[in-house]
Amino acid sequence: MASGVDAALVLPDLAAIRAAHARIAPYVHRTPVMTCGAIDADVDASLFFKCEHLQKVGAFKARGACNAVFSLDDDVAGRGVVTHSSGNHGAALAYAAKRRGIPACVVMPRNAPKVKQANVARFGATVRLCEPTVTAREATCDEVMRETGATLIHPFDDPRVIAGQATAVVELLEAVPDLDVVIAPCGGGGLLSGTAIAARSLEPSLRVLGAEPANADDAARSFASGRVEPLPATTTIADGLRTTLSPRTLAALRTHVGTIGTCSEVGILRAMRMIFERMKQVVEPSSSVPLACLLERTLDVAGARVGIIVTGGNVDLDTLQWS
């Protein structure tokens, strides 16, 4: 690391994102872009949905995980990778490790749904259960690293992961070159910061906007205050967005993102139902947050050509309640 550079704030540039795109191409789908005239009419804009719910493991997370895993030197990779996500990043890391042929361990709280444990295990990764606290998760990760020499691949606070997530918008802009706006949901900010860096490097006049549930609006508050604001206990159904920014992702947002809109829980369900019924696509609540912000007019895109990253489609149909 060059002196004077804070490692905790390093972000990928366009060259790193292009390198990531080439690196992961054999392992991820180039997902389609969908449009829906009936939804356009309701939001007074032309929407272009980048369909990462059709990505490997059903989420954009496959991109970041593959870039991180395939960036490792052989000797480091051989000792395996570890993470502490119970959601899509856990499955994505398991998938990436399987493709590289290296061990992966995903630390999950004991109370994580069996379906999520199975989703990780089906790619051959080890599931290591711990108490459902942040402290226990981190301690268990440290333990795995000490025992095996595995490398930690953080769900979002890692320049390699951010560069990987950024490749979705690179493809979107190749498919639809004349966008005015791009919107991505914001949890830890890995996708949004990568999207913003890539989009603004490729098209400096593009507006990049974030979207999050009002019930988990730490990003909007952090964006306003300039420091990482804590996320109180949250009840949002958008389970992918229950995470706080890191100083790294906040720095990227403050530089490249125009604003962050928030939406109600009812709005998320309404947007999700609209995507099911009109687009016939199964998306998870987090994926519906940008459309919810448009429907509730907390993001202003009137008349614009708008790209939206649809982040994933891993929804538990057994617990899904439409009202």
Establish if 283 lies at the interface with a second copy (CB under 8 A): yes
Q: Which stretch binds a second copy (CB under 8 A): 61-69, 85-93, 154-162, 273-281?
A: 273-281
DSSP H or E stretch at residue 245:
none
For 269-282, letters b (16+ CB in 10 Å) and e give bbbbebbbeebebb
CA distance 66 to 84: 16
Of 147, 185, 149, the closest CA to residue 290 belongs to: 185
Residues 103 and 97 sit within 8 Å (Cβ to Cβ):
yes
The answer to whether residue 139 forms part of the interface with a second copy (CB under 8 A) is no
Q: Is 41 in the site for a second copy (CB under 8 A)?
A: no
What is the spatial distance between Cα 129 and Cα 32, in angstroms, rounded to a whole number?
A: 36
C-alpha dihedral, 38 to 40 to 43 to 45, nearest 10°:
-170
- Write out the binding residues for a second copy, residues 48-77 only, by CB under 8 A: 53-54, 58
298 or 314: whose CB is closer to a second copy? Answer: 314
How many binding residues for a second copy (CB under 8 A)?
15
Q: Give yes or no for residue 322 binding a second copy (CB under 8 A).
A: yes
161 or 282: CB nearest a second copy: 282
Query: Which of 13, 25, 32, 225 is the binder for a second copy (CB under 8 A)?
Result: 32
Taking the complex as a whole, how short is the minimal distance between the CB of residue 275 and a second copy, in angstroms? 9
Q: Which tokens sit at 191?
A: 């996708």
3-state class of 72 per DSSP? coil
280 binds a second copy (CB under 8 A): yes
């790193």: which residue's tokens?
A: 16
Pick from 129, 127, 71, 124: nearest CA to 102: 124
Residue selected from 282, 291, 294, 299 as contacting a second copy according to rule CB under 8 A: 282
Residue from 117, 139, 276, 304 touching a second copy (CB under 8 A): that is 276
- Of the two residues 135 and 321, which places its CB atom closer to a second copy in the complex? 321
Nearest to a second copy of 273, 297 (CB atom): 273
For position 313 contacting a second copy by CB under 8 A, the verdict is: yes
Separation of alpha carbons 198 and 60, rounded Å: 15
Q: Which residues bind a second copy (CB under 8 A)?
A: 32, 53-54, 58, 273, 276-277, 280-283, 313, 317-318, 322
